[in-house]
Structure 1
Amino acid sequence: MALIQRIGLHSVSSNTALPRADDRDLTLLIVDDDRDFALSAADFARTRGYTSYLAHSLAQTRDFARLPAVDLLLLDLNLPDGCGFDLIGQPGLPELGQIAIVTGEPTMESAARAVSQPVMDYLVKPLCPARFGQLLDRVAASARPAPSAERMGMIGRSAPMRRLAAQLQRVAPSPLSVLISGESGTGKELAARAVHETSGRSGAFVAVNCGAIAPDLLASHLFGHERGSFTGAASRHFGYLEQASAGTLFLDEITEMPPALQVYLLRVLETGRLTRVGGSDEIAVDLRLVAATNRDPAQAVAQGLLREDLYYRLADFHLEMPPLRSRGDDAALIARSLLERLNQRYGTRKRFADGTDLVLSSHPWPGNVRELNSTVQRAYLTAAGDEVRLVPGPNMRVYGSEDDPGSVSFRVGMSYADIERQMLLKTLAHFGRDRTRTARALGVSVRTIHNQIARLRESGHQVD
């Protein structure tokens, strides 16, 4: 057995599901080839409230990649497959809190190297119990709270939300751009705001919906303009990019931005400088960009809605928002929180009727949290007394049968690829496979029709 956990003297193989640190048990990872020392250190740490995990080589530490975080890494320098220093900063490890070096062969060189690394302490074997205890107590005092959605302004305790919270906490302090994708109503702006609020950036959070601004005005709104640069430009205007300097710019529905404008955005991201519309001077900006889309990013690139070079620049870190239907009991938590807010706002004491949890868990919530919010508010306002009965609305659809050649049926939850495929095939059939008339009706080029047909054939669809 490659690795063991000394808790109650039972062993855990690398295939065993590892306990999570979300309940805030302090975690200690001991990497030492001296098994007796490692077991003794684990037993001592247990008296201080630590759960200990043991690895006896650098290679065995990979078995602990599934841990969400490690509060203290106790690292021996002389290991069978290398030096302990080689482990620091390596990818594939859980998030590390503090690091302490332990060695039975101390040298000035290793001590100096430890000082130059993010190392909290340098211990010499045999360990002094008092000093080891002080180290464990210092780590416990400085341990960060476990990532949680609630702590970041979102409601949810499900596994998908815990993973999301851990990802948010990991990326927020970095300067990386973030791309958030997910269905409408899943809370992409809340996630973007959480990134900003936990980033430590001093500037403002500026949110922009790219689909809500006319394409010919978006450049001026984003980059700003100089006085007289166009009709009606009576004064200088600082754009959203400048307003978000030292802060975070959130671009929602990034795929609605015209491709020509995406080129200029990419240049700003790469150079950190912009030029206002009608201006000639370059202006330095220091901003963190978070973008969001309810489309599949790879499909958006393939469809020409998102430039590939901008996609790679935006997706330094990609977050996927889980749909509400995959979040278990989170729907009930959110509903109760919404009802509590309504009660506080209007001074009431309304409550949900019996069976509400079953209603919440059985509905697919195609509109996600936004639909749930509307459902709770509607039920609250229409309740005759203090008992609130949730009645989710029917799934939205565009009327028309798939068998009707003159109409196209969509349902909530269909991918854009499926919608476009149905639209293309039905329109082709309507015009007797005439690709020119099909292109004219759909408002695209004939070449686009040919390309879409080719992609459908490559994916196994029969297209005449």
Structure 2
Amino acid sequence: MADAQQQPSVLIVDDDANFASAAADFARAHGFQTSIAHSLEESRRAMGRGMSDLTMLDVTLPDGTAFDLLAELDARQHSRIALMTGETSLETARRAVGLPVLDYLLKPLCPQQFESLLSQASARALAQIAGARPDGIVGDCDAMRQLTVDLDRVAPARVSVLITGESGTGKELVARAVHDRSRRRGAFVAVNCGAIAPDLLASHLFGHERGSFTGAQQRHVGYFEQANRGTLFLDEITEMPPALQVYLLRVLETGEVTRVGGSENIPVDVRIVAATNRDPIQSIEQGKLREDLYYRLADFVIALPPLRARGTDVVLLANVFVERLNAEHGQVKQLAPDAERMLVRHGWPGNIRELRSVVQRAYLLSDGPLVRIPVLGRRALPLHQDDSSIVFHVGMSYADVEREMLLKTLTKVDGDKTEAARILGVSVRTIHNQLARLAVAGDDAIPHV
């Protein structure tokens, strides 16, 4: 059970005592704190005692209607509102459109619909808590819970950390969290090894003396010295030239740097956090990463999962982005009721970075209080697994699944169509026909037919 202060809350406003009690029991079983009001006057008093994450309002009450109450409310007071009614009315539905209402429900409530409503409200409540965390890390899936445990263990230790994960999974955010939770008082300095020209990277990392090369008009203090007593984050470590990896290894072993063009050995106390979006073992085999440097960097490895593997964390993150946009623009918007379905079904090949972009665009394009996520087209997912496995995701068509299976199998058998047919349990003719269809469709990933 979650801490009481972190439990989402629901206020149920309905003059039917039996219905209100049953709804409260259902909400409590789903982790909500509950309160009940049977009239507008009671609901006003309940609201005066504090903000609820979800308010469920019966349209018709003994002393007025839900619309009377909605007219009095600051939308910031009760972030999620659902209207309930036992009678369908075109006029009532029309009045609900355009209001900051999460849903319009017909009684008796469908359990699946009620559960979805609570899930959405809980996600937004968690988002508000997560958005307030100083490290900015958001997530409630098993992998992210384990990440929190790992951070608490490794941050205070004097060990190097290697963070792996696809682009856009939040590697720099985790690196900053390692630094913030450590006892180090120096600066956090980040450098992308793939964004600096190889012939300038040594100067940026280790510094240079005046006149050491053309254009070096004054002494430059490198990133290692800037991060003294702090943390140096080396992003995309596999993009560092092999010759420079040798020098980096020496610096890590001796704790001293020598500026380019200099002779003085300068002591530095720097904690290294490195990151890569490549498989480090494959990078070693491909000659992109020195094996001895890998073992020096990988005292502790943190593997960040792709967004598609984090379940409903995508909804939690989307709510966090909406809350941040609300704060930035001074508005009170919320995800539309169908957003969860749209968010969960997409594969997110660009991970959190792609999600942030999609939510921001949807937010800016929404005229009313609801942020509607557009239908997102299928995109090929990055395949960072080994050669004998394939990643599929919910939402892929059978045609896409067959394509991935066919092309990956052909790659595995070096284009031998007979062997591919044997492995897949189909005829060679079927292989040729499928390749021909892909060729007609203009698929540039297929081998020569």
Q: CA RMSD in A?
A: 2.4
For 1:93-104, list aligned pairs within 5 A. none
1:278 to 250, 261, 264: 261
Counterpart residue identity of residue 339, structure 2: T
**1:159 is matched with which residue?**
142
How many correspondences in the alignment? Answer: 269
**1:248 is matched with which residue?**
231
Distance 1:313 1:221 in 2: 21
**Quick one: higher RCO (CA 8 Å, sep 6+), 1 or 2?**
2
Counterpart residue identity of residue 172, structure 2: E
**1:310 is matched with which residue?**
293
Cα gap change, 1:242/1:202 in structure 2, threshold over 3 Å: closer, same or farther? Answer: same
Counterpart residue identity of residue 235, structure 1: Q
Distance 2:205 2:320 in 1: 36
Give the Å deviation of 1:315.
0.3
**1:432 is matched with which residue?**
none
With structure 1 as the length reference, what TM-score do the two structures score? 0.55
Any conservation in 2 of the 1:204–1:247 contact (CA below 8 Å)? Answer: yes
**1:383 is matched with which residue?**
366
Any conservation in 2 of the 1:259–1:306 contact (CA below 8 Å)? Answer: yes
Counterpart residue identity of residue 179, structure 2: H
Give the Å deviation of 1:23.
5.5
Deviations 1:127-177 (A, max 9, x none): xxxxxxxxxxxxxxxxxxxxx995642011211101011001100001100
**2:384 is matched with which residue?**
415
**1:4 is matched with which residue?**
none
**1:202 is matched with which residue?**
185
Q: Does 1:170 align with 2:153?
A: yes
Any conservation in 1 of the 2:255–2:268 contact (CA below 8 Å)? Answer: yes
**1:339 is matched with which residue?**
322
With structure 2 as the length reference, what TM-score do the two structures score? 0.57
Residue segments in structure 2 that go unaligned for 5+ positions in a row: 5-129, 391-406, 416-449
Deviations 1:392-435 (A, max 9, x none): 54244xxxxxxxxxxxxxx322238669x98x979x98xxxxxx
Any conservation in 2 of the 1:295–1:416 contact (CA below 8 Å)? Answer: no
Any conservation in 2 of the 1:335–1:373 contact (CA below 8 Å)? Answer: yes
Distance 1:316 1:261 in 2: 20
Any conservation in 2 of the 1:158–1:327 contact (CA below 8 Å)? Answer: yes
Residue segments in structure 1 that go unaligned for 5+ positions in a row: 1-19, 25-147, 397-410, 430-464
Counterpart residue identity of residue 298, structure 1: I
The percent of aligned pairs where both chains have the same amino acid is 62
Any conservation in 1 of the 2:346–2:376 contact (CA below 8 Å)? Answer: no
> Tell me, what secondary structure is at the counterpart of 1:193?
helix
Counterpart residue identity of residue 225, structure 2: E
**1:350 is matched with which residue?**
333
1:369 to 336, 352, 358: 352
**2:217 is matched with which residue?**
234
Distance 2:311 2:381 in 1: 20
Give the Å deviation of 1:200.
1.3
Q: Does 1:216 align with 2:216?
A: no
Any conservation in 1 of the 2:346–2:378 contact (CA below 8 Å)? Answer: no
Deviations 1:253-311 (A, max 9, x none): 00000010000000000000010000011000000000000011111111110000000
Distance 1:376 1:202 in 2: 36
Distance 2:3 2:303 in 1: 24
2:167 to 154, 160, 184: 184
Any conservation in 2 of the 1:375–1:392 contact (CA below 8 Å)? Answer: no
Counterpart residue identity of residue 262, structure 1: Q
Q: Does 1:261 align with 2:244?
A: yes
